[in-house]
Amino acid sequence: MSVDALYQEIILDHYKHPRGKGLLGESLAESFQVNPTCGDEVTVQVAGDPSDVLIGYEGQGCSISQASASVMSEMLNGTPVATIKEKRDAFIELMHAKGLGEPDEEVLEDGVAFAGVAKYPARVKCALLPWMALQDAAIKAGFITEEKS
Amino acid sequence: MTTALDVARIKKDFPILSRTVRGGHPLVYLDSAATSQKPECVLDAERAFYETSNAAVHRGAHQLAEEATQAYEDARAAIAGFVGGAPEDLIFTKNATEGINLVSYAFSNATAESAWGGSPDPRFILRPGDSILVTEMEHHANLVPWQQVCARTGATLRWIPLTEDGRLDLSDLGSLIDSSTKMVSVVHQSNILGTINPVRQIMDAAHAVGALGLVDACQSVPHMPVNVDELGADFITWSGHKMLGPTGIGLLWGRSEVLSGMSPFLSGGSMIESVYMDHSTFAAPPNRFEAGVPMVAQSVGLARAVAYLDELGMDAVHAHETELTAYALNALEQAPGVRIIGPTNSVDRGSAISFVVDGIHPHDVGQILDSEGVAVRVGHHCAWPTCRRFGVPATTRISTYIYNDSSDIDVAIEAISTAQRYFGTSTTSKQGCES
Ligand SMILES: Cc1ncc(COP(=O)(O)O)c(C=O)c1O
């Protein structure tokens, strides 16, 4: 089917079996993001310190937004801020590549499965939602200072 | 095909319906509640206007200006006639959203004017303690403007709640509409639930306490015969693009006695009587409410759309939709794992049908349908509070029109089961056979 590029096995697997889902007991900051066109919701919390950022999340929504949250948390929970920034930039770049991006699996791990999402402009927002929430929470926690979106 | 319309013939009038999408699938367009497709005759009418008579209306001393003005006013008369109204009571707007804002600003503006010693029509003046009534199934276009009016005037917003099966719960209407009520604004046919509301009863209740009433007829005028007198409202608004017409044009019909005392919304050229450096006086309706150069070509296109619908006959259009809606409701009810949000029978119900599929988010349902060529809308349909009322974050919605028939529904139903196989949620059908 033509949507096979969108719904990679990895995405469906993360959707059905989300990794690391759940909120932290205590957090330094959290961010709630919604996608007003379709009602996807995600809350991301951060705790720990800049060398070891702990990430918790909750959400409801489509397969793309929820799988993206799962992939993100699996990749970034317990990593330093520098790693978060590097992977965030790579993921955002991939989402803006209109499906022509060639992601580096070393950097993006399961995130490479989202390459096909970039061909569907309406779904890019879904994929980016948890990343925007993490970005916002990390700024609120003082882990990131730049106002980059 | 249904018994009321020759859909196969009608389809041929719509060039876009012969295209393919997503790698060769024939387009199955089931999103007419969002916007309808346009028949060739509407496109031709707009083009012919630009090719022969294009000019700014109500100004200019030349022949083209005269012809353009005539075309614009003829369009107004034709569209007014379509709903049984008088041309001077019909205002052209950008869309229904503007129509509702035009009325809501009449309240804000009159309230502000009265604070500075003006003497606007007292029916439009709001004070803390006054109330405005809507329903829990409004499109955001008929909710947010009233929230804004309340925020600017201190009035209170009330709403008619819904029953579990997606109808208005009118049991408390007597207390919701009381001496504090100044405005009652309700949707005729819900764009998310499909419910057709008893607006006459509600308008009569509003008038009994001296309140004004508006009917949002976006989803009714395109789909069933509507007569402005029979609805009993003071204002009726709808959009041209949902009834085969161009984008960028909408309508607001108002009772002349109410329009005549109403403050303008947008101001500037075309809406004035005389202008001095320190003040101005305003033209009579409808011109008072049409500031600036209006949408002339679009009015010509919309008049042609109205003629096209008249040729089919609105009774036949309505009969076709009722038949097709019953077919679609039945098919969705039979489909395993599918739950309809809204009335499940076709009594007092239009063709917009929202549903959820167990275990698959609407966005994903819509994506699989799209990959099979089926265009539907997903999300909250600009009726977020209605979704909340039914405890769903979003729905998938199919909505049909004159160019759809039961085969389109069949393709959609098949695509829903494809989505269920894809996401591994297929279950045994409600009839007991494998899906
Ligand atoms: C019931 C209802 N009201 C209002 C609107 C707003 O129409 P428009 O966006 O054309 O102004 C719509 C359109 O979706 C609608 O369905």
* pLDDT value at B373 more than 60: yes
pLDDT digits (tens, 9 = 90+) for B207-245: 999 999 999 999 999 999 999 999 999 999 999 999 999
- Neighbour count for residue B64 (Cβ, 10 Å): 13
Task: Considering only residues A147 and B178, tell me which one the structure prediction assigns the higher pLDDT.
Answer: B178
- Whether B427 is covered by a domain: the verdict is no
* pLDDT value at B434 more than 50: no
- Whether B431 is covered by a domain: the verdict is no
Residue A82: phi and psi, rounded to 5, are -60, -40
Residue in chain B closest to A37 (alpha carbons) equals B379
DSSP assignment of B324-371, as one string? HHHHHHHHHHHSTTEEEES-SSSTTB-SEEEEEETTB-HHHHHHHHHH
Q: What is the arithmetic mean of pLDDT over B368-391?
A: 95
Same domain, B142 and B160: yes
Tell if the CB–CB gap between A61 and B379 is shorter than 8 Å: no
CB burial of B138-173 (b: ≥16 within 10 Å; e: otherwise) equals bbebbbbbbeebbebbebeebbbebeeebbbebeeb
- Whether B381 is covered by a domain: the verdict is yes
The model scores a pTM over 0.90: yes
Tell if the CB–CB gap between A40 and B363 is shorter than 8 Å: yes
| Partners of residue A61 in chain B, C-beta under 8 Å | 361, 363, 393
User: Per mean pLDDT, which range of A119-123, B206-210, B317-321 is the poorest?
Assistant: A119-123
Same domain, B387 and B242: no
Percent of chain B exceeding pLDDT 70 equals: 97
Looking from the CA of B304 toward its CB, the CA atoms found within 13 Å total 20
Domain count, chain B: 2
| Partners of residue A60 in chain B, C-beta under 8 Å | 393
* pLDDT value at B431 more than 90: no
pLDDT of amino acid A98: 83
Q: What is the arithmetic mean of pLDDT over A47-73?
A: 96
- The whole-angstrom separation of Cα B242 and Cα A107 is 48
User: Per mean pLDDT, which range of B193-197, B254-258, B420-424 is the poorest?
Assistant: B420-424
pLDDT of amino acid A101: 80
Same domain, B203 and B94: yes
Torsion of CA A76, A78, A84, A88, to 10 degrees: 10
Residues of B carrying an active site annotation: 382
Of B145, B74, A102, A23, residue with least CA distance to A32:
A23
Tell if the CB–CB gap between A39 and B371 is shorter than 8 Å: no
| Partners of residue A62 in chain B, C-beta under 8 Å | 361-364
What chain A holds in terms of domains, given with CATH numbers, is 2-140 (3.90.1010.10)
Looking from the CA of B271 toward its CB, the CA atoms found within 13 Å total 18
The number of residues in chain B equals 435
Same domain, B303 and B319: no
Percent of chain A exceeding pLDDT 90 equals: 80
Q: What is the arithmetic mean of pLDDT over A37-64?
A: 94
* pLDDT value at A148 more than 90: no
Same domain, B295 and B222: yes
> Nearest 5 degrees, angle CA A65-CA A69-CA A73?
170
| Partners of residue A12 in chain B, C-beta under 8 Å | 423
Band of pLDDT at residue B2, cut at 50, 70 and 90: low
CB proximity list for B9: less than 8 A, separation 6 or greater: none
Torsion of CA B407, B409, B411, B417, to 10 degrees: -140
pLDDT of amino acid B20: 97
Nearest to A39 among B394, B418, B424 (CB): B394
Band of pLDDT at residue A147, cut at 50, 70 and 90: low
HEC string for A17-60:
CCCCCECCCCCCEEEEEEECCCCEEEEEEEEEECCEEEEEEEEE
As given in the structure block, the two tokens for residue B158 are: 């009330």
Same domain, B391 and B245: no
pLDDT of amino acid B432: 38
pLDDT digits (tens, 9 = 90+) for B333-344: 999 999 999 999
B371 alpha carbon – ligand 1 mean position (Å): 27
- Whether B145 is covered by a domain: the verdict is yes
- Give the domain extent around B225: 46-309
B298 alpha carbon – ligand 1 mean position (Å): 18
> Residue B417 sits in a domain of what CATH number?
3.90.1150.10
Shortest Cα distance from A5 to chain B (angstroms)? 11
Strand order in the sheet with B338-341: B338-341, B352-357, B395-399, B377-379
- The whole-angstrom separation of Cα B74 and Cα B79 is 9
Same domain, B20 and B169: no
User: What residues does B311 pair with on adjacent strands?
Assistant: none
Shortest Cα distance from A26 to chain B (angstroms)? 27
Same domain, B305 and B318: no
Nearest to A39 among B380, B422, B424 (CB): B380
- The whole-angstrom separation of Cα B224 and Cα B134 is 23
Q: Which of B277, B309, B341 is the last residue of a domain?
A: B309
Same domain, B18 and B53: no
> Residue B253 sits in a domain of what CATH number?
3.40.640.10
Q: Which of B259, B292, B309 is the last residue of a domain?
A: B309
pLDDT of amino acid B433: 37
Residue type, B18: S
- Whether B371 is covered by a domain: the verdict is yes
Q: What is the arithmetic mean of pLDDT over A46-63?
A: 96
Same domain, B297 and B328: no
Q: What is the mean pLDDT of chain B?
A: 95
CB proximity list for A128: less than 8 A, separation 6 or greater: A68, A91, A92, A95
- Residue B338 C-alpha from the chain's centroid: 27
**Ligand 1 lined by B192 (C-beta under 6 Å):** no
- The whole-angstrom separation of Cα B98 and Cα B265 is 10
> Nearest 5 degrees, angle CA B158-CA B230-CA B98?
55
Residue of B104, B192, B193, B219 to mutate, ligand 1, most atoms within 8 A of C-beta: B219
Tell if the CB–CB gap between B367 and A123 is shorter than 8 Å: yes
- Whether B430 is covered by a domain: the verdict is no
3-state secondary structure of B182: strand
Tell if the CB–CB gap between A1 and B378 is shorter than 8 Å: no
pLDDT digits (tens, 9 = 90+) for A126-136: 999 999 999 99
DSSP assignment of B296-330, as one string? HHHHHHHHHHHHHHHHH-HHHHHHHHHHHHHHHHH
Is the minimum CB–CB distance between A107 and chain B shorter than 8 Å? no
Same domain, B234 and B339: no
Q: What is the arithmetic mean of pLDDT over B386-401?
A: 95
Is the minimum CB–CB distance between A24 and chain B shorter than 8 Å? no
Q: Which of B281, B309, B337 is the last residue of a domain?
A: B309
pLDDT digits (tens, 9 = 90+) for B66-108: 999 999 999 999 999 999 999 999 999 999 999 999 999 999 9
* pLDDT value at B426 more than 90: no
Same domain, B339 and B305: no
**Ligand 1 lined by B139 (C-beta under 6 Å):** yes
- Whether B38 is covered by a domain: the verdict is no
- Whether B81 is covered by a domain: the verdict is yes
Nearest CA, atom 14, ligand 1: B34
